Structure 1
Amino acid sequence: MRGPIFFLILFLGFGTLEAQEDIFGIDTKARTKNRKAQSDIGNVTRNLISNISFEFSGGGAYHNSVIDFLSETPGQYPISQFRNLDSLRELTGEDTLRFSGGSYAFPVNLGVRINVFNTLTIGGGYGREFGNISSLQADNYEWNFEQNSYVIDRFYGTVGLVLYDARKRAKYLSWRYRRYGSSNFYMQSEKNQRIRQNYPWRFILEGEFGNVIMRQSFDENLNANDRSFYSVGLRIEREFSEYSRIFVKAGAEFRNFGFQSQNLNEFQDLSQTLYIAQVGFSINLPGTKRCKVEGCGVVMRHLHDGVEYRGSSIFRMQNRKIGQWY
C-alpha cells in the first residue's frame, strides 16, 4: 500500500513543480507563442520589429554594353576606325552597326528587408557602383567615350519569394514519408529526427527595380539622370542564429541610357546588362529582450513572469542543440 501512495505523492510533486517557477523565475511551462513584453502594445511592437532586418553587401559585376547604331549623320558621334585599312570608308546614313563591349564594376549596397510570414520578403535600399567602361567595337569601327571610369547611385526596391527553407523542408519530408503508416515506428522516428535537424539554409528568388543616378559620367553626352532599371537573381542565405546570417546572391540587371548627338537632333540607345555576384551580411532586430535578471545564468530562450527573454548574443543560436555550443 505504501508503494502506490509514494508514487502518487511523487507524481503530484512533479506536477506542482512543473506549474511553478524555479528560483531564477524561469517559467518551465511549454508554450508555443510567448509574450515578449508585459504590455499588449509592447508585445505587438516587438513581434513586428523581429521581422525587420538590415543588410550590407558588396561584390563584382561584368557588364555588357550595346549600341544598335543607325543615324543620318554618323559624323556627329565619336566613331573612329579601329584598324587603319584601305578598305575602310566613312559611315553613311544607310549603315547599321552593332557596337558592343564589356568591362567590370564593383557595387556595394545597404538595404532593409521585412519578412512576410516566411513566404515573401519586401524591402529597399541604396547602392553605389564604381565601374569602368571600355570602347565599344563593331567590325573595324570603334566608339570612344571621354573617360573609362564612372560612379552610379542606385535607389531600389525589392521583392523576394522564399523557394526553400527549414519549414518547407519539414513539409517536404512529411510528404516524402507519407507512404509509411503511423504503426511503422522506425520510419516515423527517422522522419521526426530529420525534421528536428537544424537546417540553416534559405533560397530566395528576388527581383529588384529602381532608378540610377549618374554621379560621375563617362561621357558628357550621356543622358543618364534618373534612369530606371530592373534585375532578377537567386539569393542563398546561411543562418548563424535566429538573428544573423550571411548570404550570396547572383543575378542579372538591365538598364538603358541615351547617348545624345552633337546637334541634339537624335540620340542612340545604350543598353547595359550586368551579371552580378555579391556576398553580404544580414542581421535582424531582436524582438526578444536580453535577460538581465540578477543571478539568472540561462543561456537559452526562457521565460520570466510570462515574458520571453534571450540569454545569448544575437550572433549565437538561442536554443542550441548538441554540436552548437562552441
Structure 2
Amino acid sequence: MNLFGKKAFAAVSIFLFICGIQFPLMAQEDIFGIERKIKGRKSENELGNVFRNMVSNFSFEISTGAAYQEHDLLFNSDTPSNYPLRPTGADQQMDIQPGDTLAMTTGQMAYPINVGVRVNVFNFVTLGAGYGREWGNISPLMGQGYAFDFERSNYTYDKLYGTLGLVLWDAGKRNAFLRWQYRKYSGNNIAMQSELKQRARQIYPWRLVAEGEFGSMMMRHPPDQNLTAPDPYYGIALRLEYDFSEYTRAFVRSAAAFRTFAYTAPEAQEIQNIDQNVYSLQVGVSVSLPGTKKCKVGGCRVVMKHLHNGVEYRGSSIWYRQNRKVGQW
C-alpha cells in the first residue's frame, strides 16, 4: 500500500471511530425521557385521554362594560286614568281620551356583567351559555306632552342566556386565504413557496366571531312592581378576540339586544308593551381548560410542549404560549 493509500485508510478509520462514538450517543433517549415529536396522548389511560381531549374545548369567561338602552312605548288604553300619566307642561291639563295613542320614549345608561362557559366546535362554531346581571336607571317615558312615570328610577335585572357563534376569521382561515393568494405561483418557485410557509407558520392571535344570543330576563329589582319580562329576548353581536396563549385570550364584544317588557296596571285589563333596545360594548377575558397537564418531572426545564413516555405535557403556565418562537422567551 502506498503512502496515499495509508493516509486515506487512516482518515476513514478515524471517521468511522468518531461516528461509532457519536451515533450511539445520539440514539440514546434523553435523560428526562423527552421526545421531540408531539403526537402523544394526554393521559396514560384511555378514559383520561378522552376526557382531557374533551375538556380542552371548554372555556370560562367574564366580561363587563357599558350599554345604552332605549325604551319605546306606544301607549293606547281605554282607561288611561289607571296609568301613571301626567302632563309635562306647567299649564297643561290631563285631557287624554280613551283610545288615544301616545308615542313615548326614554334613554339611559346601563352597566352589565356576564359570566359564562363556551364550547369550541372544530374552530368553526361556538356554543355558549351564561348568567348576567345589569344595573341601570330608567327615566320617565316622554312623548306628546305627557310623561309615564315609574315607581323608582334604578333597577337590577338578571338574565340567563345562550349563544351560537360562527367563526368568521382566525389563524386557520388566514392560512387558507394565504394559500389562495399564492395559488398563482408555481410549486417550483422556491422563493415564493418559502415565503408562503413562513407567513403561514407565524403566530396569528386574532379571531372574529359573529354571535346570536337568546335568553330570558328576571326582574330582581324592577323600576316598577307592575313591570314584568314574560317573553324571551334575542340579540346579535360581533366579538373580536386576541390570544395571549393557547388557553387565554381577551375579547371585545359589541352587541345589540332586543327585549320586551309588559306593564300591567292593577285595575286595567290590557297590557302595555315597552320595547327595549340595548346597545353595549364589553371587554372580557376567557380561559380554556388545559387538556395538557403541567410537567412535574423532577429536573425537567423544558418550557415547550413535550412528551414523557408517550404522554404530552406542557412546560409553561397557561398564560404563556407553549411553543414560543425566537424572541418570545
User: Normalising by structure 2, what TM-score?
Assistant: 0.92
Asked if residue 75 in structure 1 is aligned to residue 81 in structure 2, the reply is: yes
Q: Deviations over 1:20-44 (max 9, x none)?
A: 521111012x24x321111111111
Whether the aligned pair in 1 keeps the contact of 2:86 and 2:94 (CA below 8 Å) is no
User: Secondary structure of the equivalent of 2:160?
Assistant: strand
From 102, 108, 117, the equivalent of 1:103 is 108
Q: What is the alpha-carbon distance in structure 2 between the residues aligned to residue 204 and residue 265 of structure 1?
A: 45
Asked if residue 317 in structure 1 is aligned to residue 317 in structure 2, the reply is: no
Q: Deviations over 1:75-98 (max 9, x none)?
A: 211111112245x65111242111
Q: What is the alpha-carbon distance in structure 2 between the residues aligned to residue 319 and residue 178 of structure 1?
A: 29
Asked if residue 232 in structure 1 is aligned to residue 236 in structure 2, the reply is: yes
Asked if residue 17 in structure 1 is aligned to residue 23 in structure 2, the reply is: no
Whether the aligned pair in 1 keeps the contact of 2:60 and 2:288 (CA below 8 Å) is yes
Partner of 1:114: 119
User: Secondary structure of the equivalent of 1:172?
Assistant: helix
Within a 5 Å distance, the mapping from 1:44-83 to structure 2 comes to 44-83=50-89
Partner of 2:173: 168
Q: What is the alpha-carbon distance in structure 2 between the residues aligned to residue 279 and residue 77 of structure 1?
A: 40
Q: What is the alpha-carbon distance in structure 1 between the residues aligned to residue 298 and residue 175 of structure 2?
A: 38
Q: 1:317 is matched by which residue type in structure 2?
A: R
Q: What is the alpha-carbon distance in structure 2 between the residues aligned to residue 12 and residue 117 of structure 1?
A: 48
User: Secondary structure of the equivalent of 1:176?
Assistant: helix
Within a 5 Å distance, the mapping from 1:135-174 to structure 2 comes to 135-174=140-179
- How far apart are residue 9 of structure 1 and its match? 7.7
Higher mean Cα deviation, 258-267 or 63-72? 258-267
Q: What is the alpha-carbon distance in structure 2 between the residues aligned to residue 69 and residue 10 of structure 1?
A: 93
- How far apart are residue 17 of structure 1 and its match? 3.1
Runs of 5+ unmatched residues, structure 2:
1-7
Q: What is the alpha-carbon distance in structure 2 between the residues aligned to residue 56 and residue 175 of structure 1?
A: 37
Higher mean Cα deviation, 7-16 or 252-261? 7-16
Cα 1:295/1:89, change in 2 over 3 Å: closer
Q: Deviations over 1:152-182 (max 9, x none)?
A: 1111111111110001100110011100011
Q: 2:128 is matched by which residue type in structure 1?
A: G
Partner of 1:130: 135
From 301, 321, 326, the equivalent of 2:305 is 301
Q: What is the alpha-carbon distance in structure 1 between the residues aligned to residue 29 and residue 212 of structure 2?
A: 48
- How far apart are residue 311 of structure 1 and its match? 0.6
From 250, 265, 269, the equivalent of 2:269 is 265
Q: What is the alpha-carbon distance in structure 1 between the residues aligned to residue 138 and residue 274 of structure 2?
A: 12
Whether the aligned pair in 2 keeps the contact of 1:213 and 1:227 (CA below 8 Å) is no
Q: 2:255 is matched by which residue type in structure 1?
A: G
- How far apart are residue 208 of structure 1 and its match? 1.2
Higher mean Cα deviation, 256-265 or 193-202? 256-265
- How far apart are residue 69 of structure 1 and its match? 1.1
Q: What is the alpha-carbon distance in structure 2 between the residues aligned to residue 9 and residue 26 of structure 1?
A: 25
Whether the aligned pair in 1 keeps the contact of 2:314 and 2:322 (CA below 8 Å) is yes
Q: 1:126 is matched by which residue type in structure 2?
A: Y
Q: What is the alpha-carbon distance in structure 2 between the residues aligned to residue 135 and residue 306 of structure 1?
A: 67
Q: What is the alpha-carbon distance in structure 1 between the residues aligned to residue 239 and residue 17 of structure 2?
A: 56
Asked if residue 195 in structure 1 is aligned to residue 200 in structure 2, the reply is: yes
User: Secondary structure of the equivalent of 1:178?
Assistant: helix
User: Secondary structure of the equivalent of 1:320?
Assistant: coil
CA RMSD of aligned residues (A): 2.0
- How far apart are residue 7 of structure 1 and its match? 7.4
Q: 1:51 is matched by which residue type in structure 2?
A: N
- How far apart are residue 12 of structure 1 and its match? 11
Runs of 5+ unmatched residues, structure 1:
none
Higher mean Cα deviation, 187-196 or 1-10? 1-10
Higher mean Cα deviation, 257-266 or 272-281? 257-266
User: Secondary structure of the equivalent of 1:46?
Assistant: helix
Partner of 1:221: 226
User: Normalising by structure 1, what TM-score?
Assistant: 0.93
Query: How many residues end up aligned between the 2 structures?
Result: 320
